[in-house]
């Protein structure tokens, strides 16, 4: 049975071009980038090429890109590193209630260390309440961190408006762009972003590689101690192959973004329209459609248990999720759906379908057919 993979927000398949670019650094070009001899210098050169490719995707200086092990590490480094380095300026941080747990749990850790955090509400579409954010600012506020786009419902936040508020009050602005990178244009200069987190495996690069943009002049305390890699910001021998893969993936994303966005929007809309037309009972699309990632469709089916639905779909060769892959197995309702006030009858029945470049309309037809049968029978078969 062929697998129909529809969970591209959880992870993506490495593209052939990316893997081909990586292979020499997994085989013949195995040098340590900190070594002075030729194979080490080749590795160093490959890292710097990748740094430029990542920088070009978000329009920054290559020296403002720092490689990490994941998007979560980038988030931790940005928040903890900045908070520790600037605690004499203030101890207050602002974020939203629908952030990824890499942000929320980092904020909780900082709270236990004496920092104060304001968690801003969102509306029913998942958009942060700007007036509440502005009112939360204090003289002690040093950092605002709001994700570019939500990993569960795909809502895109008004980043330029938030960054304008932050800059007007001399507050540093960080955004978790892990889901947004490759799925929408991001220009850190135009959008006035001070720090930005991204992850490789969301854009057809390997797992275990991420990056953090830190605008020149922003002071962030070193998060991992040891060596002097990444301009003395992150100790540890570099994952050269992973870095090369991330760089190539960013290059491809930069080249193909318009086509990618157009194709994913078409297949997502086809899926939602077909669901609304063919389902025998009411469904609920979670999150607004106006400002949403192109491949994201989060839908609740009243009276259906999402976990059961996922297992039944898996038996039919279909891979979807109920939300963040990082929260799978958690029996509590989604903090994102709770924050946007999804009615209780829909709260535990949400299925997140996130499309990729290889998905087809025929796969969507099959998906809707299977969902319709499962919902009709209330997953008793």
Segments of 200-317 assigned E as strands: 210-214, 283-285, 296-301
Q: How far is CA 224 from CA 32, 86, 220, 313, in A?
A: 18, 17, 12, 41
The one catalytic residue among 60, 107, 319, 326: 326
Comparing CA positions, the residue from 218, 287, 107, 299 lying closest to residue 120 is 107
234 φ/ψ angles, rounded to the nearest 5 degrees: -145, 110
Query: Can you give the C-alpha Rg of the chain in angstroms?
Result: 21
Describe the crossing of helices 240-278 and 38-58 by its angle, rounded to 10 degrees: 30
State how far the Cα of 245 lies from the Cα of 233, in Å rounded to an integer: 21
Query: Are 4 and 367 contacting, i.e. CB atoms less than 8 angstroms apart?
Result: yes
Q: Can you tell me the distance from the alpha carbon of 218 to that of 314, in angstroms, rounded to the nearest whole number?
A: 46
| Catalytic residue flag (residue 319) | no
Taking the C-alpha atoms of residue 5 and residue 319, their distance in angstroms, rounded to an integer, is 5
How far apart (Å, rounded) are the C-alpha atoms in residues 94 and 111?
A: 12
In 3D, which of 239, 199, 181 has the Cα closest to residue 71?
199
Residues marked as catalytic: 326
């Amino acid at each position: 049975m062929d697998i129909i993979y529809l969970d591209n927000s959880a992870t993506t398949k490495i593209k052939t071009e990316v893997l081909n670019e990586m292979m020499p650094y997994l085989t013949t070009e195995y040098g340590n980038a900190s070594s002075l001899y030729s194979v080490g210098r080749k590795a160093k050169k490959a890292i710097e090429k990748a740094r430029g490719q990542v920088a070009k995707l978000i329009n920054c200086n290559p020296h403002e890109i720092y490689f990490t092990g994941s998007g979560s590490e980038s988030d931790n480094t940005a928040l903890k590193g900045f908070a520790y380095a600037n605690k004499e300026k203030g101890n207050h941080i602002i974020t939203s209630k629908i952030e990824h747990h890499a942000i929320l749990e980092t904020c909780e850790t900082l709270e236990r260390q004496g920092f104060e955090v304001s968690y801003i509400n969102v509306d029913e579409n998942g958009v942060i309440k700007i007036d509440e954010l502005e009112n939360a600012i204090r003289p002690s506020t040093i950092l605002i961190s709001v994700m570019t786009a939500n990993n569960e419902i795909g809502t895109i936040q008004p980043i330029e408006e938030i960054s304008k508020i932050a800059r007007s009050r001399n507050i540093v602005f960080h955004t978790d762009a892990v889901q947004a990178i490759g799925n929408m244009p991001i220009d850190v200069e135009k959008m006035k972003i001070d720090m930005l987190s991204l992850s490789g495996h969301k854009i057809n690069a390997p797992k275990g590689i991420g990056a953090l943009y830190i605008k020149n002049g922003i002071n962030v305390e070193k998060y991992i101690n040891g060596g002097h890699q990444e301009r003395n910001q992150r100790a540890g021998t570099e994952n050269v192959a992973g870095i090369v893969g991330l760089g190539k993936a960013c290059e491809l994303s930069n080249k193909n973004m318009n086509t990618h966005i157009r194709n994913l929007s078409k297949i997502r809309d086809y899926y939602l329209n077909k669901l609304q037309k063919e389902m025998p009972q009411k469904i609920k699309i979670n999150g607004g459609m106006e400002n949403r990632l192109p491949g994201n469709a989060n839908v609740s089916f009243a009276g259906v248990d999402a976990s059961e639905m996922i297992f039944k779909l898996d038996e039919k060769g279909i891979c979807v999720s109920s939300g963040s892959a990082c929260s799978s197995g958690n029996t509590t309702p989604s903090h994102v759906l709770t924050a946007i006030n999804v009615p209780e009858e829909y709260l535990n029945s949400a299925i997140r379908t996130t499309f990729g470049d290889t998905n087809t309309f025929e796969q969507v037809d099959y998906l809707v057919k299977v969902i319709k049968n499962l919902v009709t029978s209330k997953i008793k078969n």
